[in-house]
Amino acid sequence: MRAPIIAGNWKMFKTVSEAKAFIEEIKGKVEIEGVECVICAPFTHLHALVDAVQGTRIKIGAQNMHCEDCGAYTGEISGVMLKDIGIDYVIVGHSERRAYFAESDDIVNKKVHAAFRNQLIPIVCVGEKLGEREAGDTKKVIKVQIEAAFQGISAEQAEQVVVAYEPIWAIGTGKASTPQDANEVIAYIRDLLKGLYGDHVAGAVRIQYGGSVKPENVAEYMRQSDIDGALVGAASLHPASYIQLVEGAK
């Protein structure tokens, strides 16, 4: 059985003190058997959050990383640095990184390799724009992104990857893909992985849905056959809401 994973992506929100207060609020309330909880916070918060979750099963993730381990890359953070402070997960290829910071499929692939090089689990984001969806190109876009992201990744590594299907038109817009539509695309992603690695790996990879997920609809997504959790933005910023998301995943 694939353990559901609820990952909060805080984006550029919260101060360090607010982040620590959030963890205190959710401690003991989200550690539900069989559900994995991850908080992906800004870089400035990570060290404090790793300390704050000691003794719990809550995991801390980064929202990005550079594909090199060190070098003259002003303002960047490497996988070596993240692993050194106890980070477990890293988001790779989020649509906002692709759109605002010109991250290509090739860069995403390099970051996936860098994550594994540093014993981090990548949450690999894929998804189509509204125009691509309306043109009937969703699967074509997803195929290119998945095949590029997994280029050169071994079967053993692929099993550990978390894929997040986030239709770009549904991120932060209040619009959400229906559970059935999301499940159809996620099942297609699993078929792509089956073609790349076989049944065992495809059956092991956890695939999340992201895009205006909230406490009111998370259970509907989790009832679908191939959806293994959610990558959540705004609804993960409030302790009560995040707790409800985890309970919905149960």
Residues taking part in catalysis: 94, 166
Round to whole Å and give the CA distance between 42 and 56.
Answer: 20
H helices present in the chain, as ranges: 16-26, 46-52, 79-84, 95-100, 105-117, 130-134, 138-149, 155-158, 179-197, 199-204, 218-222, 239-249
H-helix or E-strand spanning residue 37? strand 36-41
10 is in an annotated binding site: yes
Is 9 among the annotated ligand-binding positions?
A: yes
Amino acid at 57: R
Helix axis angle for 138-149 and 179-197, nearest 10°, is: 40
Say whether 11 counts as a known binding-site residue.
yes
Distance in angstroms (rounded) separating the CA atoms of residues 53 and 207: 25
> Do 43 and 11 meet the contact criterion of CB atoms below 8 Å apart?
no
Residue 40, beta-bridge partner list: 9, 61
Binding residues for substrate: 9-11, 172, 212
